[in-house]
Amino acid sequence: MQQIIISEALPNPTGKDMGNEWIELFNPNPENIDLSSWKIQTGAKSSIKLDGNIVSAKSFLVIENFKTQLKNTDNKILLIDDFGNTVDKIEYTDAKEGRSLSLAKIVGTTEAKTAHIWDSPTKNLPNKTFYEIEGVVESEPEIGEEFSFTMKDKADKTLTINFDETYQFDLMQSTLASGSPIVILAEKDSGHYNLKNYQILETKAAQTTAGAKPEQASAPPQSSWELFLLIPIIALIGVLIFLGKFGKSTRYEATGKF
């Protein structure tokens, strides 16, 4: 099966959708691929025929000005070849206005990977590379020429992380406390990073508490339990002793009468 990638799609352009939407394909192969009898399925009953399109080797092909309209919520876009095989697909729940869903390269601490990310459109251009960085918040968010905070990565290097007005500053300030373990997804730009997404990680103490067994976490001290159990035992012994004495006395008196 010939591999063609849906590298980017703009389902919700700014303003009018119809006629301004597009889907970008990429051919990673060393030869041109004829897309005759191929189609892009854009919904349960809608598709775009690709007859007459050839995507050159190592190149992009933008499909646009199609008559069907891409849904902005809960949709799948499938690329289907001339044998009916699904060659590639993307899916989304909520299309961001003016943003494209692009297949981005993510450079992590261990190995590179790819993921579909909503970002500024890069029509007919290589998609962006993002960096996944794990570390600790060093300084909390502040307002200067740009919104920013600093963090130290695992190599103990201080990084400046910028973010824009799409993030709620008050929420960022309360969430990103100094010393908080964090992993971010960011685009690198002239020595600093532009924040794309972030996640606060659990500390070891929090993980230990979360993983503790309920009976261990809520049980009172052992001495309290021992005392609690001894009280009824002592009381029971006292009752038995009393009943034993009372029973013997009654028997002796009865015997004496006969």
**CATH, residue 70:** 2.60.40.2830
What is the mean pLDDT of the segment spanning 238-256? 43
User: What three-state secondary structure class fits 210?
Assistant: helix
Measured in whole angstroms, how far is the alpha carbon of residue 197 from the centre of its chain? 9
User: What three-state secondary structure class fits 26?
Assistant: strand
Q: Are 14 and 100 members of one domain? A: yes
| Residue 252: predicted pLDDT | 30
Q: Which of 95-99, 139-143, 197-201 has the highest mean pLDDT?
A: 95-99
Which residues is 195 bridged to in the sheet?
Answer: 186
Burial of 92 (0-12, 13-18, 19+ CB in 10 A): buried
* Digit-coded pLDDT (tens) for 148-193: 899 999 999 999 999 887 777 766 777 888 999 999 999 988 778 9
How many structural domains comprise the chain? Answer: 3
Tell me the DSSP string of 217-246: HHPPPHHHHHHHHHHHHHHHHHHHHHHHHH
| Residue 173: predicted pLDDT | 73
Structural domain that includes position 248: 220-257
d(CA 228, CA 206): 32
| Residue 146: predicted pLDDT | 76
pLDDT of 242 over the 80 cut: no
| Residue 192: predicted pLDDT | 82
CB distance 146 to 167 below 8 Å = no
CB distance 67 to 74 below 8 Å = no
In a domain, 248, yes or no: yes
Q: What is the CATH number of the domain that holds 147?
A: 2.40.50.1010
* Digit-coded pLDDT (tens) for 199-236: 888 754 444 333 444 333 334 444 444 444 555 566 56
pLDDT of 52 over the 70 cut: yes
CB distance 152 to 159 below 8 Å = yes
What is the mean pLDDT of the segment spanning 128-136? 92
| Residue 124: predicted pLDDT | 95
